[in-house]
Structure 1
């Protein structure tokens, strides 16, 4: 039998704490390893991943010099010695917790730390404390030679960055960070472009009108920009927003005939897989761009249902062509979604319009 994967929080286990202690002592002779291990390891089993990260940050602060610039020098020497990228997030967390009084030095430190892991969480308290001053640093980072630093300019300023607090000022008005996105919309790095697309998708959830108007001025002749626009509009496209579909070339209703749509098996238990299959036939005399999605209406605890839209395929369908697609999906519980028994409807969505449906039953137990 396959052993279960260790919990993510075990990134910070006792062995890792010893590694951090040893490497910190190697760059700072006065480091009290025993005290650090006692503080960092206290009630470790009861702590979540992010709580463990913060605990390590606090333990480092208790064992490093009170002089903040000197502590940063030690942490910068420590950064390349740590043996896990996620573990390096302790370093920008230290800056976020203890460096708000020395704004510019701290921002320089965050720029230094981000190539080792990411400073996207560490930079957010500075954005919340003084948005214009922090954005001035982020604007400069868009011109950096290091793709990690350029990505930080976009990722750190995301209005709704997961695992962090929302930047309410940018949720109300995304304009102050708009120039960052403008500068990065043709970035050569996919790593950076993914961040820009996710930033746009955050904006779409609070300011769809602002976003659609902004993107109308973006030329999609550059494939890098076209990719960002397509992925940045995914939430609005899933909602069937016609202007968003138009920006990706699929603003007109699809001229197709649904020849077949089925889901197998019709009944299954939690943990099983469904297989969705469909066949579309073009009824158009010219090629047309299709954005094909499907929505599963998940049954909730009270017996009602709520749809969740999944991307299936975006393509150019030739005139008169026949298209067959399949997709399998496992019905399993996640931290963000729990499944409940009952009849689940599936809708096929093409260019934002429902073309047909089918259903399956998730059995109890």
Structure 2
């Protein structure tokens, strides 16, 4: 799979350069394209490429956000006419243009971001305004949480997340995540799934800082509909993986339940990097009634410093009948990927049912 930065292909840049020249006849598309591709473009990662494209626009379009506002709207309109859909990630540089030209003009920036976020999310751009105008941005985001446009409502939740991936950190949000509860209260049952999913992710962020806050938020909201309960469960996913007994009880998992005749066997206790770890689980439901169970496994990965980093993986959720026998076969790949580096040595594999780790066995990862 190609790196995400390759969304900015030669053909894509050529097309963008052509469209820019259509709305601004002073711009030569070849010169615009050449400026984007100047060295060290090939070495740039995704965020650096986004930054470069924004800078090139500002090189050709000088001036403040007030001057650039109509040009940005014209650009978006032209892109739409050329078949580009809204909520389109590659064009997120448009919001960078706003922050680079308008950080000293809060009111105009908010007016523009309200429009541009529909075309390509402004969730990263708004963080700069939190840094520079925290109280005013908070007020604006609360107002946007009742906006008629779904993508603007999503911005209110997504841009204010305590731990937004790729977003700049805002200490005041992490310190006091409860300040955004009015936004989450407005949006948790939004008519649009993309907005509700953002709220779930926001709540999951908070659960890593103030788990009790999320427990209390979700506790009184179950039962409205199956789809809303699904969103609440997604919000609690981090706490479920951590075996939080209150979160598990929301979904009728008995944290005191234990299997009978448990067997947890590895096919091999030594595997090479690049291979898969295969294991088998067998147990019997000791009860004479049905039980709802959540089955997970945890791998303690050996790190470069000799310590361990853990990750929990879900095997499934099911209702098992009285004295039912359960057999599960599973393999976990240690194929090399760009997002994780494996280190040879002793690792550990644990089995978790209803939040409780029942057994933990070692295995060794060898150089491939």
TM-score normalized by structure 1?
0.89
Distance change (3 Å), C-alpha of 1:58 and 1:252: same
Report the equivalent of 2:75. Answer: 78
How far apart, in 2, do the equivalents of 1:80 and 1:317 lie? 55
How far apart, in 1, do the equivalents of 2:59 and 2:305 lie? 49
Report the equivalent of 2:50. Answer: 53
Say which is worse superposed, 19-28 or 145-154, in terms of deviation: 145-154
Report the equivalent of 1:246. Answer: 249
Distance change (3 Å), C-alpha of 1:348 and 1:80: farther
Partner of residue 190 from structure 1, selected from 174, 181, 193: 193
1:130-279 map, 5 Å: 130-250=133-253, 252-279=255-282
Per-residue CA distance 1:301-320 (angstroms, 9 max, x = gap):
35443322122223333443
Partner of residue 69 from structure 1, selected from 63, 66, 69: 66
1:107 aligns with 2:104: no
1:263–1:359 CA contact under 8 A, matched in 2: no
Report the equivalent of 2:128. Answer: 125
Partner of residue 38 from structure 2, selected from 39, 42, 64: 42
1:309 aligns with 2:312: yes
How far apart, in 2, do the equivalents of 1:254 and 1:193 lie? 33
2:5–2:45 CA contact under 8 A, matched in 1: yes
Deviation of 1:92 (Å): 0.9
1:289-308 map, 5 Å: 289-308=292-311
TM-score normalized by structure 2?
0.88
1:347–1:354 CA contact under 8 A, matched in 2: yes
How far apart, in 1, do the equivalents of 2:188 and 2:135 lie? 21
Per-residue CA distance 1:66-114 (angstroms, 9 max, x = gap):
1523412212222254458332101011112222233233223223222
User: Considering only aligned residues, what root-mean-square deviation do their CA atoms show, in Å?
Assistant: 2.5
How far apart, in 2, do the equivalents of 1:184 and 1:76 lie? 28
How far apart, in 2, do the equivalents of 1:103 and 1:92 lie? 14
Partner of residue 27 from structure 2, selected from 10, 31, 38: 31
**SS at the partner of 2:118?**
helix
Count of matched residue positions in the alignment of Structure 1 and Structure 2 = 361
Is there any run of 5+ residues in structure 2 with no aligned partner, and where?
none
How far apart, in 2, do the equivalents of 1:68 and 1:196 lie? 30
